[in-house]
Structure 1
Amino acid sequence: MNVVRSATAVALLLTAVSSRAVTTERNFWTQLTLTGPLAASTAAPCPWRYTFDTPHRWSVDTDEYAQGTWRAGLGYVLSPKCTLWAGGSVVRNFPPYARVPYSETRWFQQLSWSDQANGCTFAYRLRLEQRHPETGSRMGLRLRHQFRVSHPLPATPRVSWILWDEVFHHLNHPDYGAGRGLDQNRVFAGVGWNSSEIIRQELGYLHQWSNRVGRPNREIHALSYGVTLNFR
C-alpha cells in the first residue's frame, strides 16, 4: 500500500509540473565505466572495489557538446547482493545546458543492491549527492533512486532487454536555482550485450524530464550508448 501511495504521489507531482511551459531537446549520451576489485586475490575475493565513469552529452539540435562528467568512487562489498560506495565527481556544463559554462563538484554516498528472480535481474541504487556548483555558495543536497530490471533474450542469452527509471529529489533549497522537491526523472528502455567476459554494451532510448525553477521545464529525448568494463 505504501508503494502504491508513493507511486501515486510521484505521478501526481509529475502531472503538476508537466502543465508548465517546457522546452524539448534532442541529445546523444555516452558513458564509459571501469570497475573491478581494488586488489587481485587468489584466495577470498577482495571486498574493496573501485569505479570510474565518464558520461558525456551532446545536443543534436545545436550540434554542441553540452556536458561532461568525471566520477570516481570506492566501494565495499557487504554481501553478493549489496555494496556501499563513496566518491566524488567533477561536472562541466555548457550551453544549451547552461547560460554560461560552469563547473560543479559533487560528493556522493551510495547503496547498490541487486538480486535475481524468475530469470530477471533486479537492481536498486540509492545515491545521496552533495553539490557545489560555481554558480552558488550553498551546498545542495540531492537524493537519487534508480530501479532497474533486465532479462536475457531466450534465443541469445548474451543479449538482454533493459528497463530502468531514476528519480532525482532536492532535499534543500540552495542559492543556485534548485528548488526543494522533485528535480528530474529519467526513463531508459533498450538492450544490453555482453560482448565478452568483461565488456558490456547498452544502447537505447532515454527520456529525461527536468523540473526547473524560474525557467521552462526541460524535456530531453536522447539516444544513449554505454560501455562497461568489469574486471571482476
Structure 2
Amino acid sequence: MRLEQRGRIKIFMQSFFAIRVRFFGFCACALAGFMIAAPAQAAEHDAQVWTTAAAKLRLDEDWALNLEAQGRFGDDVQRLNETQFKASVLRRVGPGLKIGAGYGHMIKNRAGGPDRHENRIWQELAWKPETGIKTSLSFRTRVEQRIIAGDTGWRVRSRLKATRPLGEGASLYAYGSEEAFFFLNDADWGARSGFDQSRIGAGLGWRFSQMASLEAGYLNRFKPAPDTEDKMNHIIALTVVLRP
C-alpha cells in the first residue's frame, strides 16, 4: 500500500475514532441518567452471568484465527439461556488496522418452547491506534447477517474499548467498553430496523502469563422493546483468552 493511501486511511480512521470517543461519553452519560431515573421507568431487569473462553492463534505475520465459546446464564442466573460458538479470521492491512470475517452458531434455550438456532455470518473492521499514552484504545465494527428460520436480519454493531495498566509494567489492567447495535431491516423472527441495544461495561483484567489473560467485570445491556417492557440486563462477564 502506498504511503499516500496509508495517510488517507489514517486520517479517516482518526476522524471516525474521534466521533466514537464522543459517542462513548454520550452513552456513559445516558446510562447514568437512565439508572438514576430507573425507578420511574417500565423496564424488566435480569441478573445474568456470561462466561467466555477464547483462543487467538497467529497463523503468520499478517493472518490470525480466533475461536470462541460462550455460555450465558439468565433468569437471575438460574438457567443456561444461550450458548454460542464462533470462529473468525483476521488479516492485518495496515498499522493497527485489521479486516476479517467470521461464522457463529447460536442456540437460544427458551423456557417452555423449542430451542432457537441461529447461523451468523459477519464481516469486521478492527483498529488499534497508537495513542502515545498508557491508555490503549481499540475500535471494532461488524456487519452481521443473522439467519434464523431461513430469514436474514442485517445488523451493524460498533464497539469502543479502552484499557489502562494499573502500575508500571503491571499485569493487572482496568478496561471500559461501549457497544451500540442497529438493525438495517425487519425480519420475521423479530428484528426491527433501527436501534437494537447498547452495552456498556467496565472491569479488571489480569495477564497471568504471556499466553493467557482473564477479565472480570460488569456489563449493562439495555434493549428497548416497543410492544412490551424494555429489558435491562445486569451482567457479570468472565472471559478467559488464550494466545498459544
CA RMSD of aligned residues (A): 2.8
Shift of 1:155: 5.7
Please list the CA deviations of residues 59-98 of structure 1 after superposition, one character each: whole Å capped at 9, or x if unmatched. 25261100110000111111340111101100000136x9
Unaligned runs of 5+ residues in structure 1 are 40-44
Distance across 2 between alignment mates of 1:162 and 1:62: 24
- The equivalent of 1:106 in structure 2 is 120
CA distance in 2, matches of 1:20, 1:168: 22
Give 1:200 deviation, angstroms.
Answer: 1.0
Q: Specify whether residues 203 and 62 from structure 1 end up closer, same or farther in structure 2 by C-alpha distance, changes over 3 A only.
A: closer
CA change 1:176–1:48 in 2 (3 A) is: same
DSSP-derived class of the 1:175 partner: coil
Q: CA offsets per residue over residues 85-135 of structure 1, 9 Å max, x none?
A: 101100000136x9642111000001111124211100000000001113x
Larger CA deviation: 21-30 vs 143-152: 21-30
Residue 229 (1) aligns with residue 233 (2): no
Match of 2:4 in 1: none
Change in 2 beyond 3 A, CA 1:20/1:170: farther
Detail structure 1 runs of 4+ shifted over 6 Å in the superposition. Answer: 8-12
Match of 2:76?
61
Query: Which residue of 2 is the match for residue 127 of structure 1?
Result: 142
Question: d(CA) in 2 for partners of 1:197 and 1:189?
Answer: 23
C-alpha distance in 1 between matches for 2:232 and 2:114: 20
Q: How far apart, CA to CA, are the structure 2 residues paired with 1:148 and 1:62? A: 26
Q: How far 1:215 sits from its partner (Å)?
A: 2.9
The one-letter amino acid paired with 2:49 is F
For 1:214, the equivalent position in structure 2 comes to 227
Matched, 1:152 2:165: yes
Equivalent residues in 2 for 1:73-222 (5 A)? 73-95=88-110, 100-117=114-131, 118-134=133-149, 137-154=150-167, 157-222=170-235
Alpha-carbon distance in 1 for matches of 2:94, 2:170:
26
SS in structure 2 of the partner of residue 215 of structure 1: coil
Aligned partner letter, 1:56 = G
| Partner Cα separation in structure 1 for residue 19 and residue 130 of structure 2 | 20
Alignment-derived partner of residue 23 in structure 1: 44
- Equivalent pairs, count: 219
Give, in whole Å, the separation in 2 of the partners of 1:54 and 1:159. Answer: 24
In structure 2, the CA distance between the partners of 1:133 and 1:64, relative to structure 1 (3 Å rule), is same
